[in-house]
Structure 1
Amino acid sequence: MSIVAEAALSSFFDLLFYKLSSSDLLKIFRQENVDADLKKWAITLWKIRAVLADAEEKQMTDEFVKSWLAELQELAYDADDILDEFATEALRRELNAEEPSTSTVIRFISDCVGLDRDFVTLMRSKIEDIDTRMQKIVKEKKDLELRENTGGRIITTRSRPPSTSLVNESRTYGRDKDKKEIVKLLLESGDAQLSVIPIVGMGGLGKTTLAQLVYKDDEVSRYFDLKAWVCVSEDFDIVRLTKEILYSITLETCHDNNNLESLQGKLQEKLSGKKFLLILDDVWNENYEFWTELRKPFESGALGSQIVVTTRNDGVSSTMRTTPAHKLRELSRDASLRVFTHHALEATDFSEYPELEEFGQKIVDRCKGSPLAAKVLGGLLRTKHDHYEWEHVLNSKIWDIPQEKSSIFSVLKLSYNFIPSHLKRCFAYCSLFPKDYEFEEKELVLLWMAEGFVQETKGRKPMEDLGCEYFHDLLKRSFFQQSSSDPSLFVMHGLMNEVAQWAARDLCYRLEDQLGGSKQSEISTKKRKTGRRC
């Protein structure tokens, strides 16, 4: 079971809770006197869900926790199947109560789902089985000493090393045009008030590298009185960030001072009347209130002061920006090739290793313009000049590469970890799409609705509108992107498709993965059936 399965499991719990509280199902629960049993399910599942975050961390090193999570997943699936059977029976009874003209429909449904049986007796037997298994899981939960999450996001260590402003320009490729555009914006600000320029793009596209190139530009350095670089990352702690900005400007530490009033007053004093450039790298915060609190001291800077923000999320850009975002695109194939060969062969082409060119070209194609992927995969092959090693890397899944040797997966996985649980299952479902498959927004939303992934809200917003919100939430977070051939269609970047496959690998199975191959693979019983065809 992958470590992301708990996130998918948590979102699956949301679906169970929704069904357990559905007015249509509550009616039949009461009719069959099982409402008390299913109310206990909800209470118990809430308690179990509270420890999933801790289980996620521990299952990587504890086989018992890993086994417990697999057992819990099976239980959740079986409970969901029972609730679906109740929903089908409720529909059958509703149709049966209507005009006789619907009898053909009733017979069709009954034949399809096999309702020529004692429904109540069978359901009670299944409920008792779930009760027994659930009590076993609760007991094992106590034995495993799993900690409950009392609320809020658990932030342990940073998911990626903090960035700095240092950059080796001789080892960067394909970003000259982007750099010129950002530098032009900075130098032509004139007498404008404080401006914020976001650089937005998927993880691994080189947003930080572009910001570093801009920060080190000679014209930029001469134009501004002060410059500061701060890596924000996931934890948008205003006190910490204010301290780090102060240190970047003054090189004076403020470890003992946690008074925001004092810190912001000192920062305001240092920036007063100065034209400054501040780089806020890797920002995740979408909370406008937090941002306005952090930026208060910046208002004291001279006209023409600028802030450059790098982020994967266009929602962050919308919260902070004062100018249109700079959308970073994939590297050209030629630039990707230069990145890869530089790190793999310390060369600009394959002239010294012609036997490796075929595999190298395919590896570069797999990177889909991601400089991080080209760098990491090239680095993996730096001391390997055997074409079998290159073929192995070409055919490896990104999650199969040891994390100590590859940062691709951890960088991309971070984006997944930060989306709400209802978006996790919608994104994981997209693993059924082949790579480079172009899809319509409405098409995907209707598929999500058919799978029950779109949940009604208290505001009774139409389901399709809600599904479109889900879609655009994923789009603005760079999980999807517009097709270059047709702006009405969308695609997933090849690496994001691999993340989706990883997220769903215990939940979904794409039959085409085995077609045309000699290997026979047994489909896990954990996979759930779907009618999707691509």
Structure 2
Amino acid sequence: MGEAVLGAFLPVLLEKLAHREVLDYFGRLMGVNKKALKKWTTTLTAIKAVLNDAEEKQLTQDGVKLWLDDLRDLAYDVEDLLNIFATKMLKRRIERPQGRTIKLWICSLSKAKFNVSMNSEIKKINDRLEEISTREKQFGLKKLGVSTKPWKIPQTTSHLDGPVIGRDEDKKQIVGELLSKEETCTSNFHVVAIVGTGGLGKTTLAKHVFNDAATEQFNPKAWVSVSDDFDLLRVATALLESLTSGNVRELKELNSVQDKLSKELAGKKFFIVLDDVWNTCNYDQWTTLQSPFRVGAAGSMILVTTRNANVAKMLGDTNPYTLGLISEDDCWEIFKHHALLNDRPQNVDFLKQKVIVKCNGLPLAARTLGGLLRCKRVGEWEEILDHKMWNLSDRMGILPSLKLSYHYLPSNLKRCFTYCSILPNDYEFGEKQLILLWMAEGLIQQQPEENKQMEDLGTDYFQELVSRSLFQKSSKGNSRYIMHDLVTDLARWAAGKTCSRLEDKWNDDLPKTRHSSYIRGQYDGVKKFEVYSEVIRLRTFLPLSLSDHHYYNLAQKMYIHWNKCLLSWVD
């Protein structure tokens, strides 16, 4: 689905093609087809006009989806070629004032070699563009009008995460279980697990319990987001940092971290939440992690959230709490909160039943649908609620409400959101951090009529994604944000093959990968990155950490490899 960002990508590409310096430099290259740029511009402009129709039809026609995939890859390759020209022009501007002298025959030889290479690449692009243009005519794509201007979001001071709705009884039962089992458990600590599918609000319920006054009898309290990448040292370190509210990055050995944990927990009645535990945690890892827990005071508690009942049992809860759907009235209340219905001049109760059906008892669906419709006029709501995407099956299990939230994003936000697919599950990020990454990738485009700095535009982009509930506040504080697992899945679905993580299963589409990240470790070596040798068009190679540890032993050979690829073009 990465092709959906073409609506934002192609205008940027067409602007580069029309740049005067590019046209002039192109014209000076001996043997290069001077008409190529004009042909590319004409063909891509015609294709851009039918993109909206193509995005609709690719939902039901595999041929259109494949065509859009190929068009996306071609657009990236054209931009790569233009970036090579831009680098050449920059090099000329830098060298000329310095009076750099090189033997004329060497310059001529280098220029001739470059011309031959460019001619070869331009011919390949011409052939691919012609083939794509021919295929486009087979689908009968039409020019569709641009959607009407979205309703403006009213100003509000309400907290975006909002109140916890529909889980008071669940909280009461979980708190009751935590307090009652301290008298009966044979060990000094007991595990209580909340089990449920994605989108039910397991994390929200755990927060509700964690902040309840009844749990104040526990001291210390700690919260750790485990996620699908169960790294024992990372989880133990994160737990220690949560308990001490300090930085423990100097501890690089698991044994040292465990020793400190034991000292922090010794003789204390603690309460620990292990949020979002996947089946990547095996019994041996759990046994190692829990060893410091055994020195705590009797009655200590561990609350776990997981999608897998077998994981809950492996951790020690043989009868986990199964979280169910919320009621229709609660669904409506969540939707109302996120759609800002109190600020609507129109009465929208006539759409209540249709909204409830679409949410299907899932808090996340109610939240994201509300975040989507708050940005639309009430007159557009019915069209969105009747969209055919609600009835399409999805092999990845992505909620229709999430797909629609993405579908109705402005094209500039689609590029920024799909870039987030390289973030690991449960990765906590700061607003400025993500904005700077978007800026580095050229994803924030300043329009001529806009009188804003790039950082300010990035803030607008970020807060828009927050308002649509695609980003939400982290449990660790208001300065950090996180994407729900299902929202991360949505970003990966949207990005297609253009974005990937080293931890994902790689496939035959490696040459199409443009943006990639990896979770850095303390002892990363070259072997870890061998798979990247097949990635020849990479733009992003981003090391990320799931803890406050910072490791700087990046694989230098990877940078050398890609620099050689670039220099072979430019020199």
Pairing of 1:336-485 with structure 2 (within 5 A): 361=195, 363=197, 367-369=201-203, 403=393, 409-459=399-449, 461-485=452-476
Matched residue type, 2:418: A
Aligned residue for 2:119, secondary structure, equals: helix
Matching residue of 2:4:
7
Distance in 1 (CA, whole Å) between partners of 2:415 and 2:20 is 24
Q: Is the counterpart of residue 152 in structure 1 residue 146 in structure 2? A: yes
- The amino acid that maps onto 1:491 is I
1:263-295 superposed Cα distances (whole Å, 9 cap, x missing partner): xxxxxxxxxxxxxxxxxxxxxx843xxxxxxxx
3-state SS of the aligned residue for 1:501?
A: helix
CA distance, structure 1, for counterparts of residue 444 and residue 501 of structure 2: 22
Residue aligning to 2:162: 329
In structure 1, the residue matched to 2:42 is: 43
CA contact (8 A) 2:161 2:473 kept: no
Q: How many residues align?
A: 324
8 Å CA contact 2:471, 2:483 repeated in 1:
yes
Amino acid at match of 1:496: V
Ranges in structure 1 where 5+ consecutive residues have no aligned partner: 104-109, 154-234, 236-284, 288-314, 342-356, 372-384, 392-397, 515-519
- Give the structure 2 partner of residue 123 of structure 1: 118
**3-state secondary structure, aligned to 2:499:** coil
> What CA distance in whole angstroms lies between the structure 1 residues aligned with 2:9 and 2:154?
30
Counterpart of 1:316 in structure 2 is: 153
CA distance in 2, matches of 1:405, 1:127: 38
CA contact (8 A) 1:59 1:66 kept: yes
* 1:275 match: none
- Superposed CA deviations along residues 8-39 of structure 1, whole A, max 9, x for unmatched, are 22222133123223454344234337664213
Between the aligned partners of 2:24 and 2:478, the Cα distance in structure 1 is 46
User: Cα deviations across residues 142-186 of structure 1 (Å, max 9, x unaligned)?
Assistant: 12222222x223xxxxxxxxxxxxxxxxxxxxxxxxxxxxxxxxx
Q: Distance in 2 between matches of 1:445 and 1:145?
A: 39
RMSD of aligned C-alpha atoms? 4.6
Equivalent residues of 1:8, 1:425 under 8 A apart: yes
Q: Which residue matches 1:97?
A: 96
1:16 matched to 2:8? The reply is no
- CA offsets per residue over residues 126-148 of structure 1, 9 Å max, x none? 22221222122112211222222
Change (3 A) 1:406 1:97: closer
Question: What is the TM-score of this pair, normalised by structure 2?
Answer: 0.48
Give CA deviations for 1:501-533 in whole Å, capped at 9, x if unaligned: 22113210111235xxxxx75553221121212
Deviation of 1:448 after TM superposition, in Å, equals 1.1
Moved more, 470-479 or 445-454: 470-479
Distance 1:61 1:50 in 2: 20
Tell me the amino acid that sits aligned with residue 412 of structure 1.
L
Q: Does the 8 A contact of 1:333 with 1:365 survive in 2?
A: no
Instruction: Mark the CA change 1:475 to 1:365 in structure 2 (over 3 Å): closer, same or farther.
Output: closer
**Secondary structure in 1 matching 2:195:** helix
Alpha-carbon distance, 1:325 to partner: 4.4
- Which amino acid is the alignment partner of residue 73 of structure 2? E
Q: Per-residue displacement from partner, 1:423-446 (whole Å, max 9, x unpaired)?
A: 101111111112222222222122
- In the TM superposition, residue 7 of structure 1 has moved relative to its aligned partner by 1.6
CA distance in 1, matches of 2:126, 2:198: 52
Give the secondary-structure state (helix, strand or coil) at the position aligned to 1:434. Answer: coil
Amino acid at match of 1:329: G
Task: Report if aligned partners of 2:500, 2:513 keep a CA contact under 8 Å in 1.
Answer: yes
One-letter amino acid matched to 2:40: W
| CA 1:60–1:496: 2 relative to 1, 3 Å | closer
Q: Which runs of 5+ in 2 are unaligned?
A: 175-190, 206-307, 315-364, 366-388, 515-537, 545-571
Query: Displacement of 1:335 after TM fit?
Result: 5.7
Structure 1 residue 82 corresponds to structure 2 residue 68: no
Q: Which moved more, 1:135-144 or 1:34-43?
A: 34-43
Partner of 1:61: 60
Distance, in Å, in 2 between the alignment partners of 1:59 and 1:360 is 38
**1:411 to 1:96, Cα distance in 2 relative to 1, 3 A:** same
Cα distance per residue 1:305-329 (max 9 Å; x no partner): xxxxxxxxxx5333xx7xx547453
Whichever residue aligns with residue 456 of structure 1, its letter is Q
CA deviation map 1:56-112 (0-9, x unaligned): 233343333233222222221221221111111111212221325899xxxxxx9xx
Partner of 1:487: 478
SS in 2 for 1:147: coil
Give the counterpart of 2:494 among 503, 515, 519: 503
Percent of aligned pairs with the same amino acid: 37
Q: Helix, strand or coil for the counterpart of 2:428?
A: coil
Relative distance call for 1:119 and 1:327 in structure 2 (3 A) is: same
Tell me, yes or no, if the aligned pair for 1:317 and 1:325 is still in contact at 8 Å: no
Q: Is the 8 A contact 1:13 1:49 kept in 2?
A: yes
Q: Which residue is 2:129 aligned to?
A: 134
- Which TM-score applies when normalising by structure 1? 0.51
- 1:50 deviates by 1.9
Q: Would the aligned equivalents of 2:8 and 2:412 in 1 still touch at CA under 8 Å? A: yes
Q: How does 1:100-249 map to 2 (within 5 A)?
A: 118-149=113-144, 151-153=145-147
**Matched residues in 2 for 1:43 and 1:426: separation?**
27
**Is the CA contact 2:472–2:482 (under 8 Å) kept in the aligned structure 1?**
yes
Partner residue in 1 for 2:382: none
Question: Is the contact between residue 436 and residue 492 of structure 1 (CA under 8 Å) also seen in structure 2?
Answer: yes
Whole-Å Cα distance in 2 between the matches of residues 336 and 13 of structure 1?
51
The structure-2 alpha-carbon separation of the partners of 1:65 and 1:101, relative to structure 1 and needing over 3 Å to count, comes to: same
